[in-house]
Chain A
């Protein structure tokens, strides 16, 4: 359909290719802007219909609720860019937060250095996922569907029917979640820092470029000499470490920690990633988009709660948003493909 439209315009070849290219680059570059515009429209809509929405206190609530999801969405985005999925992030959060904070509880003298415990546990989970997917060549959906249940089961076994109460933990844990630096919540600052660091890393570091290369064209990356398994493995480990960090924040915010924590988080994280314009076909999109996707979901949640809307609306909007985002993604991909074909025919791209 799109191709027909492109060829129906009777222009000299070069100009036609140029226009098609301009249109496609515009679409590619403005995918994040589209989500941002949607977010603004959403905010305006909620301000008009929900009395308490447009207030500083409410903006704070959205930011606090959204910041942990932002970290998880960043983690998920790294894996999705390599053309894989991680369905186990919810279980990793449960395992890392329960075991990690239990270590904190047992060693109150060690101090804030133990924030590394949940991060390390998350990293270990990432190693397991990475080994299975990258070196075991198991499709990521199957591997992480398996580890989804394995990590959750381990958390349950470790907890042995107990739960960790927030008041048994040293003060610095809860302090992390409620403290402010320069008037901004530490949680929000952490999320912003994660987005900035991961975003810059993916853009400028060698491993970041490799992650995009593997995702956008695995065959070309292999011919170029990239070791795909190693890059995918690294992506999963990074995803695990970040999820471990999110697990700490999750635990620090929750009043008590149970092995049932963060059930279904993987779906919300994937939704945020897809809505934020990261292509499920891999190789395109960035973590800033995923972060905006996460904030969008948090805003929808918040606005619907203020409106007293039912669970139906929330679930339906989330589901429909995923499908729409994926369809838009495929339309863009098809345009890129058509454009490349057009340019190749004119001998501009080898």
Chain B
């Protein structure tokens, strides 16, 4: 019973996902089949899932990076450009991910070096990254790719399993290990909970923060390798509306937006829910802006419910004391 209540949020996500799948089945009798479900999940969530894993680490340390979709677009353009000039695909993939790591690390370095709010920094960098994508790809972008370049986003492994979903599974397995099984992951939670205490106890906060941003950039560029194969298009304005989806997935997955709390499995469940829901809405012929409206509402409700419960608990508690002020130590 205690185990059940500890995983209440995750359980709710599973129930909602099943409900969304049932709804999709009612809408279309063809939905309920392995091929159809994997295909539609690949379409609706493979790309955002890879980025959401990276964004999760950044949110856990108490920051945010809204330039990840722009790094994805830059990765698309670079990858497509490499395809045009005939670079072997493995080298191109490595180069694109390296650029993503560099872009993410640059964001992190700016945030850490100047103590800046990450939203404002990444807002500016977003414009810069998209500008570079535009510089390389022009207005038209690219639409033709070498066969090997689209494998990751469109191939079926053993004729059944989309390669991109296998990648998502690998990414989430790795991230589960990193966040819950390594010192680095634990330190991310420590920083998110209390960066000051972490610094005072000797944790190299700047290094870990920059690494988190770099990992975010890596996932965004990894996602671009999927994106190119899936949509067979690369333009500087690619994925400009994906931010809502990935932020919603992270928040719905139970990651505390103030940092320090949340687990990888929750994010994966939230992605499955959002992906299934998106497919259902597609089957029901919901137009794009209405689908975004639903996701946006889910995002707001998902943050609001725990807050309201918290406020209510505070109101009902017998001793109404203001929270104790943060202890102030001597600056080192």
Enumerate chain A interface residues (CB-CB to B < 8 A): 85, 132, 136-139, 141-143, 145-150, 152-157, 219, 259, 267, 270-271, 274, 280-281, 310-313, 315-316, 318-323, 326-327, 330-331, 334
Contact = CB atoms under 8 A, between A and B. Distances in A.
A222 to B, nearest CB: 8
Interface string B97-141: 000000000000010001111011101111111111011000100
Interface string B301-313: 0011001100100
Contacts of A219: 325
Contacts of B125: 319, 323
30 contacts: A132-B300, A138-B303, A138-B307, A142-B247, A142-B300, A146-B244, A146-B296, A146-B299, A149-B295, A152-B292, A153-B290, A156-B287, A156-B290, A267-B123, A267-B126, A270-B120, A271-B124, A280-B117, A281-B117, A310-B135, A312-B132, A319-B125, A320-B127, A322-B123, A322-B127, A323-B124, A326-B116, A326-B117, A327-B114, A327-B116
A347 B128 CA distance: 45
Contacts of B308: 136
Contact of A153 (B135, B289, B304, B311): B289
Contacts of A311: 131, 134, 139
Q: Which residue, B123, B135, B287, has most C-beta atoms of chain A within 10 A?
A: B123
B153 to A, nearest CB: 26
Interface string B62-75: 00100000000000
Interface string B260-302: 0000000000000000000000000001011011111101100
A145 B128 contact: no
Interface of B: 64, 110, 114-117, 119-121, 123-132, 134-135, 139, 243-244, 247, 251, 257-258, 287, 289-290, 292-297, 299-300, 303-304, 307-308, 311, 325
Interface centre among A137, A142, A150, A320 (most CB of B within 10 A): A142
Contacts of B303: 136, 138-139, 142-143, 146
Contacts of B115: 330, 334
Nearest to B298: A146
Contacts of A259: 289
B293 A154 contact: yes
Nearest to B296: A149
A136 B123 contact: no
Nearest to A155: B289
Contact of A150 (B114, B134, B300): B300
Contacts of A154: 293
Contact of A139 (B127, B258, B290, B311): B258
B296 A148 contact: yes
Contacts of A157: 289-290, 293
Contacts of B311: 137
A244 to B, nearest CB: 20
Given A153-B289, A271-B124, A319-B125, 16 more contacts: A132-B300, A142-B251, A145-B247, A146-B303, A149-B244, A149-B289, A149-B293, A150-B300, A311-B139, A319-B127, A320-B124, A320-B128, A323-B128, A326-B114, A331-B114, A334-B115
A142 B297 CA distance: 11
B307 A136 contact: yes
B134 A310 contact: yes
A68 to B, nearest CB: 20
A259 B288 CA distance: 12
In the A-B complex, the 3 residue pairs with the closest CB atoms: A153-B293, A319-B127, A149-B296
B119 A141 contact: yes
B119 A319 contact: no
A323 B120 CA distance: 8
B304 A319 contact: no
A270 B120 CA distance: 9
B324 to A, nearest CB: 12
A318 to B, nearest CB: 5
A336 B122 CA distance: 25
B304 A136 contact: yes
A172 to B, nearest CB: 30
Contacts of A267: 123, 126-127
A324 B122 CA distance: 12
B320 to A, nearest CB: 15
Nearest to A139: B257
Contacts of B127: 267, 271, 315-316, 318-320, 322
A156 B244 contact: no
A226 to B, nearest CB: 14
Nearest to A153: B293
A263 B219 CA distance: 27
A103 B203 CA distance: 59
A271 B294 CA distance: 28
A281 B307 CA distance: 24
A17 B127 CA distance: 40
Contact of B119 (A85, A138, A147, A156): A85
Contacts of B131: 311-313, 315-316, 319
Given A153-B289, A157-B290, A327-B110, A312 B126 contact: no
A149 B294 CA distance: 8
Contacts of B121: 323, 326
B244 A148 contact: yes
Contacts of B134: 310-312, 315
B305 to A, nearest CB: 10
Q: Considering residues B114, B135, B311, which has the most beta carbons from chain A within 10 angstroms of its beta carbon? A: B114
Contacts of B307: 136-138
